[in-house]
Structure 1
Amino acid sequence: MRDFLPADKARRERVLAVIRQRYRAHGFDEIETPVVEEYARLHAGIGGDNEKLAFNILKRGMDAEAVRAAADDQSALTDLGLRYDLTVPLARFYASHRAELPTVFRAIQIAPVWRAERPQKGRYRQFVQCDIDIIGDASARAEAELVVATLDAVDALGLEGGSVRINDRRALDWMLDSFGFTPDERPGVLITIDKLDKIGPEGIVAELRDRGATPAAVDAFEAFLRRPMTLEYNPYGERQIRKALPEGAPDDVVAHLVGIGQAVVASRGRVSDLVADVPLVFDPFLVRGMGYYTGTIFELAHPSVSYSLGGGGRYDGMIGRFLGQDVPAVGFSIGFERIVDLVTSAEADGAAAVVLVHDRDVPVGELLALKAVLVAEGSRVRLEQRTKNLKPLLERAASDGYSAFATVSAGASRESLEIKQLA
């Protein structure tokens, strides 16, 4: 959990403003939910490993004896917790307000979340998530809208060239079934497959054998990983998807994935049956760890870094837990803390930012009157008393985002003020 100095805070807010503006341009509306949720909701078995990282809140009014009696039962000690993501709160929000929302609801959530991580570079215990979600649309259009809006926001931040790796949990489950892995083995097998980029095919096969997975299934998977591959380039589309999967992949899943690509291409003004020139890459081994994903899953990639800058997927079953009936839902989250470190510059708000450096003897009334005139003109204004060495003062002002300064003596007026640009 970190403090941010004024310059850092201003930079973060400018990046957030760009993301908000692009999301709103694509028809999403911002909502806000409480930072705490009920313990039972946060620990319903749908948050994956994040549930283990939740900060829980001790029940109020418990005396020492009650705490000792409940020491072995966390649910008896706590009834609330800090949210570890924004998807679980959104599902509860939608279930509570469905009657007041449109049939297809497009939501923006930009807010901090908390996880009891072991702090390290790129991992914090409090961090901001930037989510967009579409609830009520089961078609490929929903995923396409999320992909287009996310890439637009990233482009607007000066990070052109981003792409989205995409898979489908249904394809992944079918593939494991086709190899012969049992349903009980699947969670552990997925954990291992998720390491493919790090340990390679040999490491994956060795770990699966160490896990005691069905030998014949491991053999079939190893043969698939070692199958002959051509170097021909296939743009995102049905051919690429089918070549990346074992023979006989489910037609409905393939059609849904192809439909996403076609919609993304159409959004760029190019309609093609081949789905060429689309920033999507099908990855049959993309897993993502959240237990609530039921269909499409995706991650945001950028050529400047080896790690993902965000991700998401379809979670059609989650809202039904709160509402009593399933509602289709899909979301995409930008990893703000990673994105903000890559943005070399962000557009300022356009207003002039002026430091008024005044002599000690200038009456306070005159200073505030002069400041009020500049503020009314749309400027941002800071008052600073003149120091013997003016250079450090002006350097600090520039680092805080001020672009100009003026010196003020007693009796100065707006007309006599000479505003100079900071170098």
Structure 2
Amino acid sequence: MPSVNPPRGMRDLLPADKARRERVLATIRERYRAHGFDEIETPVMEDYVRLHAGIGGDNEKLSFSVLKRGLDAEAIAAAADDPARLADLGLRYDLTVPLARFYASHRAELPTVFRSIQIAPVWRAERPQKGRYRQFVQCDIDIIGDPSARAEAELLAATLDAVDALGLEGAVVRINDRRLLDWMLGHFGFSADERPGVLITIDKLDKIGVDGVVAELRERGVTPTAVDAFDAFLHRPQTLELRAFGEGSIRKALPEDAPDDVVADLVALGDAVGRARGIPAPYFTLPVQFDPFLVRGMGYYTGTIFELAHPSVDYSLGGGGRYDGMIGRFLGQDVPAVGFSIGFERIVDLLDAEADAAAEAIVLVHDRDLPPADLVSLKAALVAQGTRVRLEQRTKNLKALLERAAADGYTSFATVTAGQTAADLEVKPLS
């Protein structure tokens, strides 16, 4: 007999779980739309060559491919060593690559500066584990066509607003810039061809620590004097006092003579977010932090990068950044673009279930012999008042029936007898 379980890394959702997820998604959508973003939809599949064009980083290796139609056993055997000959389509592994294709296709129909929402499932051939699935929902907002720091400020303001509306207290956005990372590695003495591999190691700083990163860099065989300079910088004396997100704190976290224009962009971003949230300078309570070693693994980032973090977990809850070069691969000319993706699966697991109460919902418990017309008309009257209603035939174990209803989000119940109206019901709370 085949298994009745879903595929590994994928899940069935019971009614209460599904309802809760939809309420969270509705909150995110509402806040994003309030900030002027418009929702679009793209197909779940894209062309194989687009998904493997070298712009998706390691996610390209995790793409689910779709076998070409009409291949016989001989053709499959002949192409076994070349996946591109076996597949012509693949399930999307993120929403950014489809957005770039969408914009290139519909540019003439869109505003000069396009603010998009995409909320949809994506698929990756991950090794399933806690918080990591093979099918999961991403909540993306992107701004295409605006090269200024205003776009990043809009994204951060909208994202933090959504996080606030969800009641997720204590979340912060870590910020860096890929231009600063590249400058810093050059400052230490790493050659241009060494830097991609060096960034892969630096990205492990939170997991293996300073000494682990330095040891791995030495094992990589990169320029020894550059590793020495990097090691010395990581071990420099630092003060621990609270500092605002401003020019002083940013420069303090970097080697001397950091590029003025990039630092100025970050300072302006912090100022804009602070003012949007009504926080007075010097922004000591601003929920953004400068992190000079934030990397973000995606190869398409060209400027500012972000990660959403929460003190209760050691992994990010979302992230994004500027990817000015991606759309140019489809259009033949560069178009500025920046985006932020909330990791919905991780966010929803952190939210307080008590803050997730549904609207008034009632279970009507009735005997088997009650006329269907009486039940349906009574139900319709309550629904017309804005109440969610479920009809349940009385069982011997009424307690179990009501416990199940409460688990499904119902808040009250009433026992129905013949001839009752909505006004006659004796409604009791389920809790």
The answer to whether TM tops 0.5 is yes
2:126 to 105, 117, 121: 117
Would you say the 8 A contact 1:359–1:410 is kept in 2? no
- Residue 288 of structure 2 corresponds to 280
| 1:375 matched to 2:362 | no
| 1:205 matched to 2:222 | no
- Structure 2 residue matching 1:14: 3-state secondary structure: helix
Equivalent-residue separation in structure 2 for 1:227 and 1:410 (angstroms): 81
1:411 Cα deviation (Å)? Answer: 2.8
1:24 Cα deviation (Å)? Answer: 1.1
1:230 Cα deviation (Å)? Answer: 2.7
1:367 Cα deviation (Å)? Answer: 1.4
Would you say the 8 A contact 2:124–2:135 is kept in 1? yes
| 1:337 matched to 2:345 | yes
Letter in 1 for 2:266: L
- Structure 1 residue matching 2:424: 3-state secondary structure: coil
1:312 Cα deviation (Å)? Answer: 0.6
Once the two structures are superposed, what CA deviation does each residue of 1:355-412 show, in whole Å capped at 9, x if it has no partner?
A: 1111111111221122122122221111111112311111111110111111122333
Q: Which ranges of structure 1 fall in alignment gaps of 5 or more residues?
A: none
Equivalent-residue separation in structure 2 for 1:293 and 1:223 (angstroms): 28
| 1:256 matched to 2:265 | yes
Equivalent-residue separation in structure 1 for 2:70 and 2:33 (angstroms): 44
1:270 Cα deviation (Å)? Answer: 4.3
- Residue 194 of structure 2 corresponds to 185
Equivalent-residue separation in structure 2 for 1:80 and 1:396 (angstroms): 43
Equivalent-residue separation in structure 2 for 1:201 and 1:414 (angstroms): 67
**1:217–1:263 Cα change, 3 Å:** same
Q: Identity over the aligned pairs, expressed in percent?
A: 78
1:301 to 298, 309, 312: 309
Would you say the 8 A contact 2:20–2:356 is kept in 1? no
- Structure 2 residue matching 1:278: 3-state secondary structure: coil
Would you say the 8 A contact 2:51–2:90 is kept in 1? yes
Once the two structures are superposed, what CA deviation does each residue of 1:70-96 show, in whole Å capped at 9, x if it has no partner?
A: 111100100100000000011111111
- Residue 384 of structure 1 corresponds to 392
* Correspondence 1:167-186 to 2 at 5 A: 167-186=176-195
| 1:420 matched to 2:415 | no
Moved more, 208-217 or 152-161: 152-161
Letter in 2 for 1:292: Y
Equivalent-residue separation in structure 1 for 2:174 and 2:414 (angstroms): 52
Once the two structures are superposed, what CA deviation does each residue of 1:191-242 show, in whole Å capped at 9, x if it has no partner?
A: 1111112222211111111110111111111121122223343311111111
Would you say the 8 A contact 1:155–1:161 is kept in 2? no
Equivalent-residue separation in structure 2 for 1:106 and 1:229 (angstroms): 40
Equivalent-residue separation in structure 2 for 1:268 and 1:417 (angstroms): 47
1:245 to 230, 251, 254: 254
Letter in 2 for 1:369: S
- Residue 85 of structure 1 corresponds to 94
Would you say the 8 A contact 2:412–2:429 is kept in 1? yes
| 1:393 matched to 2:401 | yes
Would you say the 8 A contact 1:14–1:348 is kept in 2? no
**1:349–1:94 Cα change, 3 Å:** farther
Equivalent-residue separation in structure 1 for 2:279 and 2:227 (angstroms): 42
Equivalent-residue separation in structure 2 for 1:393 and 1:349 (angstroms): 19
- Structure 1 residue matching 2:338: 3-state secondary structure: strand
Would you say the 8 A contact 1:265–1:276 is kept in 2? no
1:75 to 75, 79, 84: 84
Aligned length: 421
1:152 Cα deviation (Å)? Answer: 1.3
2:371 to 363, 377, 381: 363
Structure 1 stretches (4+) deviating beyond 6 angstroms? none
Would you say the 8 A contact 2:358–2:409 is kept in 1? no
Once the two structures are superposed, what CA deviation does each residue of 1:274-322 show, in whole Å capped at 9, x if it has no partner?
A: 4543222111110010011000001111222222111110000001111
Structural RMSD (CA): 1.4
1:269 Cα deviation (Å)? Answer: 2.7
1:46 to 52, 55, 60: 55
Q: What TM-score do you get using the length of structure 1 for normalisation?
A: 0.96
Q: Which ranges of structure 2 fall in alignment gaps of 5 or more residues?
A: 1-9
Would you say the 8 A contact 1:354–1:403 is kept in 2? yes
Letter in 1 for 2:47: E
- Structure 1 residue matching 2:36: 3-state secondary structure: coil
Once the two structures are superposed, what CA deviation does each residue of 1:23-53 show, in whole Å capped at 9, x if it has no partner?
A: 1111111111110011111001011110000
